[in-house]
Chain A
Amino acid sequence: MALAVAAVPESLPAVLTLAMALGMERMAKRKAVVRKLTAVEALGSVTVIATDKTGTLTENHMRVDRIDSLDPERAVRAMALVNDADPATGAGDPLELGLLEFARQQGVDTVNLRQTCTRLSEKPFDAAWKYMRVTVQQDQPVSYVKGAPEVVMARCRLDDEQRASIQSTIDHHAGEGFRMLALAWAPGETEQDLHWLGLILLWDPPRAEVPGAIAQAQQAGVRIIMITGDHPATARAIAERIGIAVTGVMTGQDLDKLSETELAQRVMDTTVFARVRPEHKLAIVHSLQAQGQVVAVTGDGVNDAPALKAADVGVAMGQRGSDVSREVADLVLLDDNFSTIVSAIEEGRSIYENIQKFVRTLFSTNVTEVLLIVVGAMVAFFLVGQGAALLLPLTAAQILWVNLLTDSLPALAITTDRNLNVLATRPRDPGAPLMDRPTLLFVVLAGVVGGMVALGLYGLLPRWINDPGRVQTLVFCYLVFVQLSFVLPARRVNLLSQRNPWVIGALVTGRLHRWSR
Chain B
Amino acid sequence: MVALTQESLGNFLSVTPLQPLDIGVLAGAVMVSWLAAEVIALLLRRNRADSRGVK
A residues near B (Cβ < 8 Å) are 219, 364, 395, 397-398, 401, 424-426, 438, 441-442, 445-446, 449-450, 453, 456-457, 461, 465, 467, 469-470, 472-474, 476-478, 481-482, 485-486, 488-490, 492-495, 514-517
Inter-subunit contact B29/A453 (CB<8 Å): yes
Q: A492-B42, A494-B49 are in contact. Are A470 and B19 (CB under 8 A)?
A: yes
A449's closest neighbor in chain B, by CB?
B36
- For the complex with contacts A395-B13, A473-B16, 13 further pairs of A-B residues with Cβ separation under 8 Å are A446-B36, A449-B37, A450-B37, A457-B29, A461-B25, A469-B16, A470-B18, A477-B18, A492-B41, A514-B6, A515-B15, A516-B16, A517-B17
B residues near A (Cβ < 8 Å) are 6-7, 9-19, 22, 25-26, 29-30, 32-34, 36-38, 40-42, 44-45, 47-49, 52-55
Inter-subunit contact B32/A453 (CB<8 Å): yes
A473's closest neighbor in chain B, by CB?
B15
Q: A438-B48, A474-B22 are in contact. Are A517 and B37 (CB under 8 A)?
A: no
Of A442, A449, A472, A514, which contacts B33 at CB under 8 A?
Answer: A449
Inter-subunit contact A425/B53 (CB<8 Å): yes
Q: What is the CB-to-nearest-CB distance from A238 to chain B, in angstroms, rounded to a whole number? A: 27
Of B10, B32, B40, B42, which contacts A445 at CB under 8 A?
Answer: B40
The secondary structure that dominates the B interface is helix
Chain A residues near B11 (CB-CB < 8 A): 517
Q: What is the bound-complex CA distance between A477 and B23, given in angstroms?
A: 9
Inter-subunit contact B16/A401 (CB<8 Å): no
Inter-subunit contact A446/B49 (CB<8 Å): no
Inter-subunit contact A492/B52 (CB<8 Å): no
Inter-subunit contact A481/B14 (CB<8 Å): no
Chain B residues near A492 (CB-CB < 8 A): 38, 41-42, 44-45
9 example contacts (A-B, Cβ-Cβ < 8 A) are as follows: A446-B40, A467-B16, A482-B30, A485-B33, A492-B45, A494-B49, A515-B9, A515-B13, A517-B10
Chain B residues near A395 (CB-CB < 8 A): 13-14
Chain A residues near B48 (CB-CB < 8 A): 438, 493-494
Q: What is the bound-complex CA distance between A449 and B10, given in angstroms?
A: 28
A452's closest neighbor in chain B, by CB?
B33
Inter-subunit contact B26/A494 (CB<8 Å): no
Q: A426-B52, A470-B22 are in contact. Are A490 and B30 (CB under 8 A)?
A: no
Of B15, B33, B38, B44, which contacts A516 at CB under 8 A?
Answer: B15
Q: What is the CB-to-nearest-CB distance from A82 to chain B, in angstroms, rounded to a whole number? A: 53
Chain B residues near A486 (CB-CB < 8 A): 34, 37
A465, A467, A482, A490: most-surrounded residue (chain B CB, <10 A): A482
Q: A398-B14, A438-B44, A446-B37 are in contact. Are A426 and B53 (CB under 8 A)?
A: yes
Q: What is the CB-to-nearest-CB distance from A138 to chain B, in angstroms, rounded to a whole number? A: 65
Inter-subunit contact A446/B41 (CB<8 Å): yes
Chain B residues near A450 (CB-CB < 8 A): 33, 37
